[in-house]
A and B are shown apart, each in its own frame.
Chain A
């Protein structure tokens, strides 16, 4: 593994692992390590001196990129570019297409999006809702070694873990419904993902309704009636004010997005 220390740029030690094993070792228990996936979130943070990491772990060459399929199981490496998901089926494809523009999607990584902390002005992690709806599991490294767990359990601890890959069963049907963005640079203000698993289970999740993606269990329980499910979804979230939208607006549109996603799930366009 090439390790470089340079005097410029705050003497941050730069780690460039060449394999998953090296990445896991370099991450250790995650203390004082900044993980750089594509760099689209953390590079500006460093540019504006909001981040001055002691060590930075560049993930690109660690062999963690790529999408593999094993029967109905899809596994996406943490360093896979978000742009590579645009062509997959809903909810993931349309959710990915709703992120930034193609230049940024081609650099930004799935792992970076899943692990992103809440921003200064709005939540980040646009893909979290889609992966929650898919019932995805995350394989990650950190204190206690490598483990695989449901994304819901991973999200509260995402800042302490190094995501390695995320996987899910191909759904029988999927849908995505999000607010249009005023500018491609905006993070998702509010979006709802829905998926029906092969066994008929419907999962619903929202991005932009909290500091990270969140399941909507009350709406799921009413999923047969999209209108009622939309209203029920309000029991599952505490909408907030931020730079992208007010809590009032989110409260008004969440039921609409849930209704649209469930309607699309029943009657694909």
Chain B
């Protein structure tokens, strides 16, 4: 079967029952989705399938057949971050970073479905995602900022020298 990841179509040889996560990481070498618990409990492996967040560790790859998959590699580039990536940096929403790609994709799916900056709605949408650094408040703030389309000046941050991004989603 074929799998379209971040706009690129790959021919996949893994068994149809293989979790999408393992196909992405082991067969295609796309390591943005993290293998945390491998049983749906942590959210580190979340990717977008046709714009909707899914646990890639629970999805047989057969069920992604014909779908458009977005991983964190497809959100933006270091030089040109996506609004939610900019918001995560601005709000210090990443600590160790292991949960971050799953959190950003869940946030992206939430915003894509019309989610607002209401903290309770964001908590509900990200409720299955675990951050062992316990940086939840910052993560919710970052998703809210991205939902609002806040602008950020990232030139003074640690990533400033790598990114041209000086404003956020409203740009």
User: Which of A's residues lie within 8 Å of B, judged by CB?
Assistant: 4, 6, 8-9, 12, 14, 16, 36, 38-40, 43-44, 46-48, 56, 58, 60, 100-104, 106-107, 183-185
Contact = CB atoms under 8 A, between A and B. Distances in A.
B128 A184 contact: yes
16 contacts: A6-B13, A8-B14, A9-B14, A12-B15, A12-B17, A16-B62, A39-B60, A40-B58, A44-B39, A101-B127, A101-B128, A103-B46, A103-B53, A103-B54, A103-B106, A185-B128
B107 interface: no
Given A8-B14, A100-B40, A103-B46, A43 B59 contact: yes
B148 interface: no
Contacts of B41: 183, 185
Given A36-B60, A40-B40, A102-B53, 8 more contacts: A39-B58, A44-B57, A47-B39, A101-B128, A104-B128, A107-B54, A184-B127, A185-B128
B7 to A, nearest CB: 22
B63 interface: yes
B125 A104 contact: no
Nearest to A104: B40
What is the interface of chain A mostly: helix, strand, loop, or mixed? mixed
B55 A103 contact: yes
State the 4 A-B residue pairs at the shortest beta-carbon distance, nearest first: A101-B128, A9-B15, A44-B39, A185-B41
A9 B17 contact: yes
A107 B63 CA distance: 10
B142 to A, nearest CB: 19
A8 B62 contact: no
Contacts of A185: 40-41, 128
Interface of B: 13-19, 22, 38-41, 43, 46, 52-55, 57-60, 62-63, 106, 124-125, 127-128, 130
A83 B106 CA distance: 16
Contact of B17 (A43, A48, A100, A104): A43
A253 B54 CA distance: 34
B15 A104 contact: no
B128 A9 contact: no
Contact of B57 (A9, A16, A47): A47
Most A CB contacts (10 A, CB to CB) among B16, B52, B59, B130 go to B16
A137 B13 CA distance: 41
A101 B102 CA distance: 14
B27 to A, nearest CB: 10
A105 to B, nearest CB: 10
Nearest to B126: A101
Most A CB contacts (10 A, CB to CB) among B19, B39, B124 go to B39
B17 A14 contact: yes
A43 B13 CA distance: 18
A8 B12 CA distance: 12
Nearest to B42: A185
A182 B43 CA distance: 16
A6 B39 CA distance: 23
Contacts of B128: 100-104, 184-185
B43 A103 contact: yes
A8 B58 contact: no
Contact of A102 (B15, B58, B125): B125
Given A39-B63, A101-B128, A103-B128, A14 B16 contact: yes
Nearest to A44: B39
B15 A6 contact: yes
Contacts of B63: 38-39, 58, 60, 107
A183 B128 CA distance: 7
Nearest to B15: A9
B15 A8 contact: yes
B16 A4 contact: yes
